[in-house]
Chains A and B, each alone.
Chain A
Amino acid sequence: MDHTVTDLSTVRRPIEEANGLPNAHYTNAAVFDEEKHALLFANWSGLTVAAEVPEPGDAVPITFLGMPLLVIRDRSNTVRVFQNICRHRGMILVEERRKIEGAIRCPYHSWCYGTDGRLVSTPHVGGPGQNTHEGIDRALLGLIEVRSHIWLDVVWINVSGDAPAFEVANAKLLERWSEFDKPLYHGGVQSSFTLEVNCNWKLAVENYCESYHLPWVHPGLNSYSRLEDHYHIEEPDLFSGQGTLVYRQIKGHDEQVFPDFADLAEKWDTAAEYITAFPNVLLGVHRDHTFAIILQPQGPEKTLEHVHLYYAAPNTSEDLRARNAAQWKTVFAEDVFVVEGMQRGRHAVSFDGGRFSPAMDGPTHLFHSWVAGRLAAARVASQAAE
């Protein structure tokens, strides 16, 4: 692996002196794989949202960084994530979104699993018509479960299984947004959409973290939300983002607005915050709605951005939800040329990772620093293991 080890020594310097991550972190397959393990598998990554499996038995297969996973709501209403493979021959169990009416049957030799992952039948395993064998202990051969946690309806997973508990790893963020830790109501089909962007997933994070670009890329927002109305959110080695002091609710033709979340502090009357929960979940909270954008890396230079909007109450105005979704889709689409342009820029061989505005790029540098720190720690651990 030595030939792919990048020099991160300048990234964690003070922002005035730091460079951004080297080009290879955006273009190189080996570095992408290194980050897959050190950043995305070793921490709590967003996989999907619980709203994708609303009823018991609902199952959705998702390939996350090449790994076949199955998200399922079991009979006791618990959302679980399994590796989507049979314990017998490693066959893919569920190929497309569907309802599991009874058991998950492997299409190869028909080993069957409960929605809770238990291995419940092993047909002919002891010979024709003999479905048990002393060498096959079903209790040890359930589906392989991936550690998961639900917060803000996002299904977070820790593939490595050894990260601190979600509530510990994200304690400061949970505390900061504790007022929004209450029932969220997904806006439905019109309130979710996916953007396919030709960029490394980290560029989507970096662009989301900072407000520096807003007046140039989102002039519509700038008409009421000026640069000076924004503030940085910086928790070193944890999360970063931006906030605004002048959030205005979207209104219907008859001045109708969405209902507010209950018991919010006064500051939320006009504040809104946008934070990246490292590594790959972009979150936004407002008095009347939240959203989550889950970045699904498809390779070094391609990412899917899955957007989901939530409200404080069920049965809000369909028309207003559609308008809110359209407004956000416009904003997020305005960012596409930026992240794709930066991606193409990473093929300029003399680019040194770039320099940061000490005044405006703090949240972005904080993310770079987090990436560099996690990679450095993983490299040390890897060397120690060798």
Chain B
Amino acid sequence: MTDLDTRLLAAHDVDDRQLLIALYSEAADCANDADACGFYLTHAYVYALEAGDPQAASLCARLVAMGREVDPYASTTI
């Protein structure tokens, strides 16, 4: 298990949403292929979306650019 995996599990254990956003973003940046990147980005995005975190917009934009998401910000605020 990598150090990042360990930190992710620890963040899940304490349900630290801000840390989860950061760690899943980090995992996406470290991913070796597009599918893995999209997987981790999705998790970072969903936790940001739920929290109303401003990072949600940029995370969403990355997924949209990868053809993996549609932009919910296009119409109104959530």
* Interface residue ranges, A against B (CB under 8 Å): 75, 101-105, 110, 112, 114-116, 118, 120-121, 123-124, 126, 128-132, 138
Instruction: Decide if the interface of chain A is mainly helix, strand, loop or mixed.
Output: loop
| Residues on the B chain within 8 Å of A138, using CB | 70
| Residues on the B chain within 8 Å of A104, using CB | 50
* B41 touches A (CB below 8 Å): yes
Q: How far is the CB of A175 from chain B (nearest CB, A)?
A: 36
Q: Report whether B78 and A75 are in contact in the complex, using a CB–CB cutoff of 8 Å.
A: yes
Q: Report whether A112 and B68 are in contact in the complex, using a CB–CB cutoff of 8 Å.
A: no
Q: How far is the CB of A56 from chain B (nearest CB, A)?
A: 10
Q: Report whether A130 and B38 are in contact in the complex, using a CB–CB cutoff of 8 Å.
A: yes
| Residues on the A chain within 8 Å of B78, using CB | 75, 102-103, 114-116, 118, 120
Q: How far is the CB of A100 from chain B (nearest CB, A)?
A: 8
| Residues on the B chain within 8 Å of A110, using CB | 46
Q: How far is the CB of B3 from chain A (nearest CB, A)?
A: 22
- Sorting the interface of chain B by its residue count into under 10, 10 to 19, 20 to 34 or 35 or more gives 20 to 34
| Residues on the A chain within 8 Å of B19, using CB | none
Tell me which of B35, B50, B52 contacts A129 (CB under 8 A). B35
Q: How far is the CA of A115 from the CA of B36 in the complex (A)?
A: 30
With both beta carbons as reference points, the residue of chain B lying nearest to A105 in the complex is identified as B50
A-B contact pairs, 29 of them (CB 8 A): A75-B77, A101-B51, A102-B49, A102-B53, A102-B56, A102-B78, A103-B78, A104-B50, A105-B46, A105-B49, A115-B78, A120-B49, A120-B72, A120-B78, A121-B49, A123-B42, A128-B38, A129-B34, A129-B35, A129-B37, A129-B38, A129-B40, A130-B38, A130-B68, A131-B63, A131-B68, A131-B69, A131-B70, A138-B70
Q: How far is the CA of A353 from the CA of B34 in the complex (A)?
A: 72
Q: Report whether B42 and A124 are in contact in the complex, using a CB–CB cutoff of 8 Å.
A: yes
* A129 in contact with B39 given A102-B51, A112-B46, A112-B50 (CB within 8 Å): yes
With both beta carbons as reference points, the residue of chain A lying nearest to B63 in the complex is identified as A131
Q: Report whether B49 and A103 are in contact in the complex, using a CB–CB cutoff of 8 Å.
A: yes
Q: How far is the CA of A126 from the CA of B41 in the complex (A)?
A: 15
Q: How far is the CA of A104 from the CA of B50 in the complex (A)?
A: 6
Q: How far is the CA of A132 from the CA of B63 in the complex (A)?
A: 11
- Which of B48, B63, B68, B70 has the most chain A CB within a 10 Å cutoff? B68
Q: Report whether B42 and A132 are in contact in the complex, using a CB–CB cutoff of 8 Å.
A: no
Q: How far is the CA of A130 from the CA of B36 in the complex (A)?
A: 10
Q: How far is the CA of A115 from the CA of B49 in the complex (A)?
A: 12
Given contacts A103-B50, A110-B46, A138-B70, 16 further A-B contacts (CB under 8 A): A102-B50, A102-B52, A102-B78, A120-B72, A123-B43, A123-B45, A126-B68, A128-B38, A129-B35, A129-B40, A130-B38, A130-B68, A131-B68, A131-B70, A132-B69, A132-B70
